[in-house]
Structure 1
């Protein structure tokens, strides 16, 4: 049987511990760089485990993606310059770099990826979040607060300038003074502006195609718990909140290709009027997951070649992107930028717009197109072909 610890021994131990920390140079016994590297590694591990899985991790998810690569590099340099615990700090910093770099948004494939030349019958695709369509002083609705006035003619000139065969456009919607969505019916003008194009709409997505549309439908999300529905009480347009992907099957030559035009729910509650702690809630998180799961289920059951593009409201640092359909491959390697960013278009630091294809589709060219003040998102322009 172990003898009980005597009070004088305990007091002596506490006294020794106090002297240890109060002694000159005590802080150097555990170097600051090792503490910082360890703290960052703990954050990165927690982020990899929790991001996209629990709603209350949405605030840490807002970390700038580049920080997941930049911070460990800075810590590594500091560790190499340290006098004590240099090796331990360097190992910890390297571990956080290995774990986090894949979510940093760096596109190292741009250094070596070389796409094959496009065939003459390649499909030119343009995907873009329009920022409340053409809502401006020139349209029927005044622009929302914080949105600059826009020239509607310039809006259509920009669309024409993309010279696309397929346009996947999001935010085909206006918002009133109370931040409520208002349906847009611009089909007559779209037909005039794009004669010969086929048009499909669902919720706030619109797809225009030179190729015939043989099938179309909006993909409706379903939340497991009625308390998590993103539809505000009394909404006269529930589909705006629950239909966030428009699928159109296009007849391209002798083959049919599915195009998914997506605008995944924002992590920020649109009724909050801004980014605050209350606007990042469980309802938005569950709606985002339900949206991507509904999309994935449709893609998995679809045997056709497919293209998915749009505004995912998710940076490379957000684990919710792991719910992107498994059949889909990220088209990012075809981009020429080492750090592609699409938002905010004026000072792009985050990438939240993405493009994916199934293996039957080859990406020959992929570029991000600045919107010149017409939107807060850059557009995505792709040149694709089907495997023979």
Structure 2
């Protein structure tokens, strides 16, 4: 089987986890702080809060930005459901903005049109979650300009994009957003097995997220309402959650981070090779913005013949090639249809979905394996 993605674990990674396992801390401890500092320094953010998943990071990011009932969160329909669900967790309404059919990312033009209409109907969003699909950054400068005009906050769902760049700066520096979220799932660029992180340049947001990830409980003397108690004393100051990352996961993440640029460079080389070798086939290869350098979490093609996707998918899977489809538009899911969404509302995302096919892409993929994928795809297209 050639999977669509998988982790690369080195001996250094194993040694780092064993060292953590035999230390005094195996739950949240000093290695979590070390990992947070390393990621923040790498991407150029001031604060980082490690948690047990990117979904948890999205949730506490929304809460830190005070999303609640009567407010709205907008995001891309072309994403995993977590990008929208985080708004529902907070009791807010959720809506979507259609994508740019060339980049598969949330379209700033569609966003501007929707914002103009929302202003007239008093339905502006409190938060827009922009999703860096496949590892390519959205046009963040354009979206940030709209946020200044219409007053919404920005979360970058960069689950695909650690190691990617926008305007020659690492994704995650929060230059154009309030909070950026990374995922460290095994098929992502680097892994902590399961895990996520929220980054921000705002110390108040960082403090709020740190509190929310750990039951809403604090022992910080400067934060306590009653600081005259003994060393045992703690206070629950908000309704938080157990979203903490362990030192075992953080040790793995810190070790993996040392190879981040190498991981992205190899994915870039494989993506370039796909694009070159598929150029004559009846399909569409990915388009990149000039300002973006993708982290290449996914390599998604679009098939020219819309009715052949199921057949091509089945033929490749039968040959042991782990193609996949990313994503079924969120608004078409049964749960969201019960909320009033329906097919036809976001045509660019729906047209993308009907033709999309994710090809295998991962650090350890050999050129022989890639050639096997390319040949099998060519045979299926014939």
- After TM superposition, the score normalised by the length of structure 2 is 0.25
Q: Which has the larger radius of gyration?
A: 1
* Bigger fraction of residues in helix: 2
TM norm structure 1: 0.25
Q: Which structure has more RCO (C-alpha within 8 Å, separation ≥ 6)?
A: 2
